[in-house]
Amino acid sequence: MGLYSETGGLLLKRSPKPELPYRSNDGTIENVPEKDPSPATWIPMPKLPLHLLLALALFLSLGAAKVPETRTAAAPDGFQLPTNTEQRYIWLKGRQKVGETVLRFQRVPRDDGWAYVIDSVRRYDYEGISQRSQGMTVVSDQGLPLRFEESTSLNTVQGARTSQKTSIEFDGQNAHVTSQHNGPKGRRVERDVAVPEQPTYLYANQALEHWVVFTATLAPLTKTQTVRLLYPDFDRVLKVTFTAGKKESLAIGKEKTEAQRFSFESTDGELTGLLWLDAKGRLLQLKFPAASLRLVLAPDA
């Protein structure tokens, strides 16, 4: 499945930093130093919902609970994502399919190491609202965000239409966020968001690819831990506690897979749910019980 339309990829309005990969208009990745990549290794280290705020309440659940003693998670040595492969996740509202996300992973060299480039295509159709998005996320070889670009359009059965292009560049302890609403003649907003503590991972609304990245830090761990997530939609950093539960047998298509279950909850109680990882650290399922919403890895992934 092609991940970019005939119009090509997205471009940031700001001048790209020379050391970071970016996607040109013909869809190719630019600013990649000439350097032979190491062989791809399948140790996949596997993120929510931008219904343009119309469905935010659907994806955020309330309630707070006490959690045991925690520690802050850090990207483990040897952090890796799948490379040169594609993963497809199905969105289910109850038993109804309401959308899907397709992710494509690449590993490219940087002047000071490596970066992972994750292309995403997302569609969502529910109760008369149709959303289409495509984007690109670039993270370091430790999973820390370097660049994010996304273009989203929203249509309703009543004929209402809106669109938004978002880009984020990360520079040390600062994230520069640019939002362009309804085309080049629409409203443009630029702002800087401080990210003083590291590691802090990216969590953009509905961007499942970000869950795939930051849950990578959970794969080798079996105890409770806290992860810091930059939530650019509201210019703040969430602290989310993940607690390992029991191992379970999870059905992926017709096959059963042993999976480690984690529950999670942010300190403000807004973000709560469950997720399951396989033995390789691959994200198999993400569940938000309060919204009757599940995101499930497709069996052909």
> Between 38 and 251, where is the model more confident?
251
**Tokens at 275, concatenated:** 């997720």
- The helix/strand/coil state of 93 is strand
Write out pLDDT tens, residues 190-233. 999 999 899 999 999 999 999 999 998 886 666 889 999 999 99
| Radius of gyration of the chain from its Cα atoms, rounded to whole angstroms | 18
Write out pLDDT tens, residues 109-147. 988 888 999 999 999 999 999 999 999 999 999 999 999
Write out pLDDT tens, residues 107-119. 999 888 889 999 9
> Between 219 and 258, where is the model more confident?
258
CA angle 68, 295, 53 (to 5 degrees): 90
268 pLDDT above the threshold of 50: yes
First vs last C-alpha separation in the chain: 12
* CA 47/CA 188 separation, integer angstroms: 27
Please, are residues 16 and 22 in contact by the beta-carbon 8 Å criterion? yes
Q: What value does the mean pLDDT take over residues 245-250?
A: 92
Residue 114's alpha-carbon distances to 39, 138, 154, 213, 277, in angstroms, are: 13, 10, 35, 15, 25
* pLDDT of amino acid 300: 74
87 pLDDT above the threshold of 50: yes
* CA 94/CA 62 separation, integer angstroms: 19
62 pLDDT above the threshold of 50: no
Q: How far is CA 43 from the centre of its chain?
A: 18
* pLDDT of amino acid 64: 30
Q: Which of 30-34, 140-144, 152-156 has the weakest average pLDDT?
A: 30-34
* pLDDT of amino acid 251: 87
Return the closest-CA partner of residue 229 out of 188, 189, 271: 271
Q: Which of 10-24, 63-77, 86-100 has the weakest average pLDDT?
A: 63-77
Write out pLDDT tens, residues 277-294. 998 889 999 999 989 999
- Supply the mean pLDDT for the chain: 80
* pLDDT of amino acid 24: 65
54 pLDDT above the threshold of 50: no
CB-count exposure of residue 122 (10 Å: 0-12, 13-18, 19+): buried
